[in-house]
C-alpha cells in the first residue's frame, strides 16, 4: 500500500506543482488537495479548523501531510497577528492530527529564519534571530519538528521561481513577476535594489528536494530534520535582468525599493548546504541561466 496524502495550501505557488508531482509518483487518487480557497479538484479545508482536519485525516486514512498553507513574508508583515495564527496555530492543528493518526509531516521552513546577524553565506547551524514575524513562525516550525514526537521534516526553501502559479506574497516575488512583465511590457519596476543578492531556486529543484527528503529513511536524518539548508542559485536582481536580456535584449528594469528591501537586507546572500548533500544526497540542477531558459520555455509554451 502506498501513502495516502493530504496537501494543505494546495492552490499556492508550491502546491500547484507539488500536487501534480505527488500524483505522478503515487497515483492521483492517493493525493487529497485542499485549500481555504476553492477550485476544481481541490477540497476546502481551513487549517484553523482543527476538527475538520482531524476528521479528514482520520476519515481518509491519511499517512502523509504536506502542509503548505501559510502567509508569506510580505503579506505576513502587513498582518503579523494573522501570520502568527495561520503559520503557528495552523501548524499545531496539523501536528495534533498527525499525532493522533500516526502521519508523517512535511512543513516547509524558509531562508527567513535567518536574521541580520547571520553570515552572508548562511551556515546550517547559526543563531536564528529573524527580523520578521514570518521568520519567527518558521523558527517555531523547525522547533516543533524536533519536539512533536512525530516524523516531521522541513526544508529552508530559498525564493522559489516558477511559471505555473503566481508567487504568493513573499519578498522574492520580484524574481517571478519580472518574467511576466518582461514578456508583457518589456519593462519591470523592481521593488528591491539592483545589487540585492538573495538565495533562489527553480521550482523543479524545490519539488525534487521535497520528494527526496520525504523518501529518506528517518535514521539518516539528524538535528537539521526540521529545516535543512538547500542552495539552488544565488544572484542579484541586476544579474537576473542581464540573464533575461539574453532572451529579450530590449528588456529594461528600473529599481524602486519598498519595505520589502528591508526584509531582503536581513536575509543572507547565499546558503551553505553541505549537510543536506551529505545526509540525503541533495544537489541542485538549475543555475541562473538554465532557470531563466526554463522560465521562458514554460511561459512561451
Ligand atoms: N514560494 C516561496 O518562495 C517560498 C519560500 C520559502 C518558504 N515557502 C513556504 O512554502 C509554503 C508554501 O508557500 P507558497 O509559495 O506555495 O505560498 P502561497 O501563498 O502561494 O500559497 C499558500 C496557500 O495557502 C492557502 N491558505 C492561506 N490561508 C489558509 C488557511 N487558513 N487554510 C488553508 N489554506 C490557506 C492560500 O489560499 C494559498 O493557496 C509556505 O509555508 C511558505 O512559507 C515558500
pLDDT tens for each residue of 78-113 = 999 999 999 999 999 999 999 999 999 999 999 999
Exposure string for 151-162, b = 16+ CB within 10 A, e = fewer: bbbbbbbbbbbb
Q: Answer whether 170 contacts ligand 1 (Cβ < 6 A).
A: yes
Active site (annotated) includes residue 228: no
For residue 265, the model assigns a pLDDT of 97
Q: Answer whether 13 contacts ligand 1 (Cβ < 6 A).
A: yes
Q: Whose CA is nearest to atom 23 of ligand 1?
A: 9
For residue 241, the model assigns a pLDDT of 98
8 A C-beta contact, residue 207 and residue 21: yes
Residue with cell 539552488: 232
| Beta strands 155-157; 109-110: pairing state | parallel
Q: Whose CA is nearest to atom 32 of ligand 1?
A: 46
| Residue to mutate (ligand 1; options 17, 168, 173, 201; most atoms within 8 A of CB) | 168
Which of the residues 66, 134, 157, 255 is marked catalytic? 134
For residue 219, the model assigns a pLDDT of 96
Phi-psi region of 157 (alpha: psi -120 to 50; beta: other; left: phi over 0): beta
Q: Which of 159, 175, 161, 163 is nearest to 253 (CA)?
A: 175
- Closest atom of ligand 1 to 45 CA is 33
Exposure string for 194-211, b = 16+ CB within 10 A, e = fewer: eebbbbbbbbbbbbbbbb
8 A C-beta contact, residue 74 and residue 171: yes
8 A C-beta contact, residue 100 and residue 140: no
Q: Answer whether 12 contacts ligand 1 (Cβ < 6 A).
A: yes
Q: How many angstroms separate the alpha carbon of residue 247 from the centre of ligand 1?
A: 30
| Beta strands 197-202; 233-236: pairing state | antiparallel
Q: Answer whether 14 contacts ligand 1 (Cβ < 6 A).
A: yes
- Closest atom of ligand 1 to 161 CA is 3
Measured CA to CA, the distance from residue 200 to residue 206 in angstroms comes to 10
Q: Whose CA is nearest to atom 25 of ligand 1?
A: 9
As given in the structure block, the three cell numbers for residue 22 are 505527488
For residue 1, the model assigns a pLDDT of 81
Q: How many angstroms separate the alpha carbon of residue 168 from the centre of ligand 1?
A: 7
Question: Which residues in the chain land under pLDDT 70?
Answer: none
CA-CA-CA-CA dihedral for 182, 185, 191, 194, to nearest 10:
50
Q: Answer whether 70 contacts ligand 1 (Cβ < 6 A).
A: yes
Amino acid at each position: 500500500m502506498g501513502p495516502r496524502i493530504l496537501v494543505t495550501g494546495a492552490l499556492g505557488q508550491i502546491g500547484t506543482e507539488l500536487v501534480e508531482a505527488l500524483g505522478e509518483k503515487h497515483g492521483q487518487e492517493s493525493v487529497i488537495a485542499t485549500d481555504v480557497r476553492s477550485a476544481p479538484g481541490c477540497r476546502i479545508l481551513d487549517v484553523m479548523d482543527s476538527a475538520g482536519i482531524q476528521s479528514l485525516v482520520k476519515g481518509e486514512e491519511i499517512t502523509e501531510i504536506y502542509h503548505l498553507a501559510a502567509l508569506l513574508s510580505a503579506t505576513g508583515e502587513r498582518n503579523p497577528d494573522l501570520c502568527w495564527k495561520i503559520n503557528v496555530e495552523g501548524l499545531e492543528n496539523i501536528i495534533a492530527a498527525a499525532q493522533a493518526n500516526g502521519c508523517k509531516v512535511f512543513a516547509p521552513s524558509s531562508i527567513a529564519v535567518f536574521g541580520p546577524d547571520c553570515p552572508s553565506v548562511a551556515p546550517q547551524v547559526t543563531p536564528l534571530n529573524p527580523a520578521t514575524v514570518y521568520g519567527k513562525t518558521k523558527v517555531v516550525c523547525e522547533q516543533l519538528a524536533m519536539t512533536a514526537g512525530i516524523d516531521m521534516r522541513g526544508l529552508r526553501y530559498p525564493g522559489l521561481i516558477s511559471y505555473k502559479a503566481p508567487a504568493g506574497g513573499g519578498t522574492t516575488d520580484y524574481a517571478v513577476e519580472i518574467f511576466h512583465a518582461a514578456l508583457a511590457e518589456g519593462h519591470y519596476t523592481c521593488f528591491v535594489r539592483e545589487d540585492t543578492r538573495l538565495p533562489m531556486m527553480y521550482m523543479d529543484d524545490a519539488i525534487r528536494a521535497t520528494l527526496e527528503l520525504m523518501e529518506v529513511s528517518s535514521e539518516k536524518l539528524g538535528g537539521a530534520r526540521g529545516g535543512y539548508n538547500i542552495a539552488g542559485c544565488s544572484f542579484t536582481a541586476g544579474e537576473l535582468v542581464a540573464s533575461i536580456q539574453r532572451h529579450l535584449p530590449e528588456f529594461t528594469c528600473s529599481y524602486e525599493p519598498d519595505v520589502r528591501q528591508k526584509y531582503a537586507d536581513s536575509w543572507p546572500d547565499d546558503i551553505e548546504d553541505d549537510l543536506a548533500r551529505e545526509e540525503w544526497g541533495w544537489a541542485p540542477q538549475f543555475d541562473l541561466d538554465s532557470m531563466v531558459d526554463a522560465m521562458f520555455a514554460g511561459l512561451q509554451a
